[in-house]
Chains A and B, each alone.
Chain A
Amino acid sequence: MSQEAEQHALRSRRSHPRSPGEPRLVPYLYLLPALGLYAVFALAPLGHAAWLSFFNWDGVTPATWAGFGNYRAILSDPQIRSAFVHSFVLVIFYCVIPVLVGLLLAGIFSRAGSVRGLSGFRTVLFLPQVIPTVALAVTWRWIFGPDGPFDQILRAVGLGSLARAWLGDFTLALPAVGVVGSWVMYGLCMVLFIAGVQKIPQSLYDAARVDGAGPVREFFAVTLPGLRNELVVAVVLTLISALRSFDLVYVMTKGGPGTSTDVPALEVYTRAFEFGEVGSAAAVATTLALLIFAVAFLVTRLGSRGTT
Chain B
Amino acid sequence: MRSKTLIVGVIALAGFVLPLGALAARTSSTTHRASTTLVVQDGESGSNERVNTYKLLDQAFEKAHPGVKIQHVSKTFDQLTSTLNLQLSGSSVPDVTQVNQGFSSMGVLVKGHLLLPLDAYAKRDGWAKRQPASLLAMGRFTADGKSFGKGNLYGISATGDIAGIFYNKSMLKSLGLSVPRTWGQFQKALAKAKAAGKTPIAFGDLDKSPAIHDWQLVQNVYAPKAVQTSFVYGRAAKFSTPANVASLSTFQTWEKNGYFTDNFLALGYDDWVNGFAKGDALFIITGSWFNTQLQQTMHKNVGFMLPPPLNAGRPYVTTGSGGLPWAIPTKAKNPDLAAQYIDFITGKKAATLFVKRQDIPMYPVAASVAGKGTSTGDIMTAFAQLKKSDGFVPYVDWATPTLYNTLNAQLQNLLGNKTTAQKVASSVDGDYQKFVGKH
Give the interface of A toward B (CB within 8 A).
58-61, 141, 144-146, 164-170, 253-259, 270, 273-277
Contact = CB atoms under 8 A, between A and B. Distances in A.
A259 B412 CA distance: 9
B89 A256 contact: no
A177 to B, nearest CB: 12
Contact of A274 (B88, B404, B412): B404
Q: What 9 pairs between A and B have smallest CB-CB spacing?
A: A168-B265, A168-B266, A165-B266, A165-B263, A60-B112, A146-B263, A273-B82, A254-B208, A276-B104
A274 B206 contact: no
Contacts of A167: 206, 265-266
Interface string B100-144: 000111001101101000000000000000000000000000000
B262 interface: yes
12 contacts: A60-B88, A60-B109, A60-B111, A60-B112, A61-B145, A144-B266, A145-B266, A256-B206, A258-B410, A258-B413, A259-B409, A276-B105
Contacts of B262: 146, 165
A45 B105 CA distance: 24
B267 interface: yes
Interface string B403-414: 011001110110
B416 interface: yes
Given A145-B266, A146-B262, A254-B208, A60 B271 contact: no
Most chain B CB atoms below 10 A, which of A146, A167, A255: A146
A166 B418 contact: no
A58 B412 CA distance: 28
A258 B408 CA distance: 8
B293 interface: no
Given A145-B271, A256-B205, A58 B416 contact: no
Interface string B74-100: 000000011001101100000000000
B401 A141 contact: no
Nearest to B86: A59
Nearest to B114: A60
Contacts of B408: 256
A273 B84 CA distance: 10
A58 B81 contact: no
Contacts of B268: 141, 145
Nearest to B112: A60
B263 A274 contact: no
A143 B418 CA distance: 26
B402 interface: yes
B214 to A, nearest CB: 15
B104 A254 contact: no
